Structure 1
Amino acid sequence: MLDDFITGISLGFFLSFMIGPVFFILIETSITKGFKAAVAFDLGVIVADALFFAIAFFSSFRLINAIKDDPALFLFGGIIMLTYGIISFVRLKKVQVDTLQLSPPNLHRDYLNLFAKGFLLNFINVGVLGFWLAIIITLGPKMDMNTERMFTFFGFAITAYFVTDLIKIILAKQLRRKLTAENILKVKKVSSIILIVFGLFIMVKGVLPKNENETIKLPFSNLEQEK
């Protein structure tokens, strides 16, 4: 149990600092919408991770291994992310600076929308499924593929991930006092551009040829697509 705890906590802390679209949008949400909004977004991300972990654990290895490298899924996810980034950027081009303000959500549906945004942004990245599959393949045998032990390990990892994200959210929120309306617009534009870049990156991964003999490796050295 102690080994599972240490491994899970280490993995969760590591995941929280992976550079990807979720990382940047979480920071942007905290700065522009506040603590509760960022937490709602992050909970959506976590639910997507939990769903992918469950799918990877309970599904057939051959099926998931085939799906995770399916170019169509990379293209689909990349197109959605790219389209969302472009639409957001175009809308911001029409926004007048003097109409912008730091306005946290005040309705339940606003927080639900942020939750859905976090879930979908993480879910459309099929690389996340590949990551959790690699984790299960690598660490599962060491835990005898015991369901209770595996999900306890995941609980440790996702808890460490969430706690670390809370610290990031709190620190990012401190920047709110220093932001002018013009800077708010810049932050939002940067987050839109980041989505466009990562959307293109995911699409390219679907187009590039893959080595059919390539085996799954634990992606600690190449996790830029994870978050």
Structure 2
Amino acid sequence: MDIYDFKNAFFVGVFMSFMIGPVFFMLIKTSILKGARAAIAFDIGVVLGDISFILIAYFGSRSLLEKIKDDPRLFFIGGLVLIVYGVITYLDKSNKKEVDENEIKIPEGNNYLKLILNGFLLNFINIGVLAGWLGIMVVVGPTLDMNPNAIFWYFTIIIIGYICADICKIILAKQLRKKLTPIVIYRLKRAMGVILILFGSIMMLKGFIPKDKLENLMEQVETQTKSQ
């Protein structure tokens, strides 16, 4: 992995952290009501849920990806997953209203074990999160030649980016809560849906580009990025 891959992975982690949903609001609410330590405990549970999804995505798709990693159709599969996830995010009816924080319960007292468990379960029951990680795995895995070491470090950097963004949310919880009006939440979720759809569309278009031309194009982009 080079610096371009690290920057890309870090950005993906930050993006995943700002996907608006129950986990997002629960983290902010916990930080405001119970303090930073409690919010960090909750976030540990969330991250453990994400790691579980990453492992499911990796081991559940590895054999398939190994067989078709040089097949252009792979880009269609990964792109399609991201597009579907983006469309669901964009059309989600809950975008039109603010998440009811009264429906999001947190354990009484600073029981850190319960907070970790709560974070894990709240994240793990969201099948959309699994779809997101699966889409990333399908897209990223073959570009790293399904190298377990490279995939491990790529997703480790994603998790680091995710945690860094969450720490910022914990620190700025009160300010974020004031600014996240229903209309802002609505626009943010739709914007994230559009980004996912665009990224998925780009992945699908790669299926039309011959592999040798694609590799040359990627090398040119990386060279330009490093020279900046």
Corresponding pairs, count: 150
The alpha carbon displacement at 1:42 in A equals 0.6
Matches within 5 A, 1:116-195: 116-172=117-173
Contact persistence 1:44–1:117 (CA under 8 A)? yes
Q: Structure 1 residues 105, 173: CA separation in 2 closer, same or farther (over 3 Å shift)?
A: farther
Quote the residue 1:33 is aligned against: 34
Contact persistence 1:34–1:104 (CA under 8 A)? no
Aligned equivalent of 1:220, options 196, 203, 206: 196
Identical residues among aligned pairs (%): 49
The gaps in structure 1 that reach 5 residues or longer are 69-84, 92-102, 179-217, 223-227
TM-score, length basis structure 2: 0.57
**Partner amino acid, structure 1, of 2:127:** V
**Partner amino acid, structure 1, of 2:30:** T
SS in 2 for 1:137: helix
Q: Structure 1 residues 175, 160: CA separation in 2 closer, same or farther (over 3 Å shift)?
A: closer
The gaps in structure 2 that reach 5 residues or longer are 65-76, 82-98, 179-193, 199-228
Per-residue deviation, residues 184-217 of structure 1 (Å, max 9, x unmatched): xxxxxxxxxxxxxxxxxxxxxxxxxxxxxxxxxx
Contact persistence 1:131–1:219 (CA under 8 A)? no
**Partner amino acid, structure 1, of 2:60:** S
The alpha carbon displacement at 1:221 in A equals 3.6
The alpha carbon displacement at 1:175 in A equals 9.0
Contact persistence 2:169–2:176 (CA under 8 A)? no
Per-residue deviation, residues 148-200 of structure 1 (Å, max 9, x unmatched): 11110111011011011111101116799x9xxxxxxxxxxxxxxxxxxxxxx
SS in 2 for 1:19: coil
Distance 1:141 1:175 in 2: 37
Q: Structure 1 residues 134, 175: CA separation in 2 closer, same or farther (over 3 Å shift)?
A: closer
